[in-house]
Amino acid sequence: MNKPETENKNKLARLFILLTVFIYSMGFGIIMPALPQLIIELENISLSEATFHAAWLGAAYAIAQFLMGPLMGNLGDRFGRRPIFLFSLFGFGIDFLLMGLAPNIIWLFIGRAIAGGLGAIFGPANAAMADISSDKDRAKSFGLIGAAFGIGFIMGPAMGGFLADWGTRIPFFVAGALALANAIFGYFIFPETMKQGDKRDFDWKRSNPLGALISLSKTPSLLPIAAVYFLWLTATNVYPASWAFFAIAQFGWDSKTIGLSLTMVGASMALVQGFVIGPMVAKFGERRTAQYGMCFAGLSFITLAFMQNGNIALALCGLMGLQGIIMPSISAMMSQRTPSSAQGELQGFNGSLSALSFLLAQLVYNGSLSYFTSANAPIKFAGAPFILALFFTISAFVTLYFVAKNKKHISY
């Protein structure tokens, strides 16, 4: 394939990757405002009890993703990104349709397990983007993925808040239809991004979380960054785990206001990851860029924990996107330390780390929110999840600081 053909193929692949992440985030944003009410309606329970159920729904998703992430990543290294990517898209669509049809909470658990096992989008998206990006451009490329996610979040929550007025289940059907339509579209236009020479044999030993860890440990500089990745993911997962429930408990927001708040977060994240991450990494490097973002995140968490005024909290949502400089920087640091033939394995391993962090986030954040908003709580403190998120942010910052000081692990 000559250079112009390769460039055209890469442009087409990049366009579809970004479109897919956009639709994924829009679909995820569509259902977030409606999920608390759906759980309450299905089980006829209080908000505190619904928060507890949401924690275990998240756990079902995380456990399935933890077990399947390395397998899907290694299958991508063997057969290419295209079949795994499209397979994941169909899983995502089926998940939301099942949730929309759910007659009881068990169906929600089945849907979340399918989504965790088959519908995780970011691993295949990051692996495909790494295939078509040079080392120096990977932070910028991962930033574009984050920007696409942010733009989807601009539209999704606002749309979900209004769709919920037509029925609690309508947002789930719309999200599922969008995902399946995108999968069909991708079947016709998404090219394979992996070079034939970079494909490698499938190995069951690498296709489980422990095996992937052992395999990737052969690159010593990778593991400390993986620890930072896990700690920061756990911190930022306070938003998907608890935000909708926190906003109802703390500020009494309805679905429309929750949707508006998430739209503002998405708008600021899209701007930051589309226009800020590239220049910041060029000026400060990936490590310092991530650390600056963590400082802002810590201030945001402590402010939200004690915030009483819903109008001020809504205004602050427009600044939360500044945290969006962190994950692309960390992802780029990990990708740069991994050979081309193992990018899928890395993203599968990251998927397992993401699953573990999401599992921990669901149990810790929603568990604390459920307890501190229940009748048995010694004090009412809906901000408890954000205090815990602050702890994980500080841990990530300190770990990254000492990783940078250890010259045998990292060099710049």
pLDDT(407) > 60: no
Give the distance between the most distant pair of CA atoms in the chain.
69
Mean pLDDT value across residues 109-117: 81
pLDDT value for 119: 59
Q: How many CA atoms lie within 13 A of 317 on its CB side?
A: 24
pLDDT value for 410: 39
Please give the mean pLDDT across all residues of the chain.
82
303 pLDDT band (50/70/90 cuts)?
very high
Residue 321: its H or E element: none
The DSSP result for 15-66, as a single string, is HHHHHHHHHHHHHHHHHTTTHHHHHHHHHT--HHHHHHHHHHHHHHHHHHHH
81 pLDDT band (50/70/90 cuts)?
confident
pLDDT(398) > 90: yes
Rounded CA-CA distance 319/301 in Å is 12
Mean pLDDT value across residues 99-126: 79
Comparing 71 with 171, the larger pLDDT belongs to: 171
CB 60 within 8 A of CB 113: yes
197 CB neighbour count, 10 Å cutoff: 8
Rounded CA-CA distance 119/117 in Å is 6
Comparing 17 with 342, the larger pLDDT belongs to: 17
CB 13 within 8 A of CB 141: no
All structural domains of the chain: 3-186+209-405 (1.20.1250.20)
218 pLDDT band (50/70/90 cuts)?
low
Distant-in-sequence, close-in-space partners of 305: CB < 8 Å, separation ≥ 6: 383, 384, 386, 387, 390
Model confidence pLDDT, tens digit, residues 151-175 = 787 788 778 877 878 888 888 898 8
Which residue is it, tokens 């259902």? 31
pLDDT(344) > 70: no
Model confidence pLDDT, tens digit, residues 238-272 = 988 899 889 999 999 987 888 888 878 878 877 88
Most confident of 25-29, 232-236, 399-403: 232-236
Instruction: Please report, as a single letter, which amino acid is at residue 45.
Output: I
Rounded CA-CA distance 101/170 in Å is 10
121 pLDDT band (50/70/90 cuts)?
low
What is the rounded radius of gyration, in angstroms, for the C-alpha atoms of the chain?
Answer: 20
Q: Which two tokens stand for residue 183?
A: 């999968």
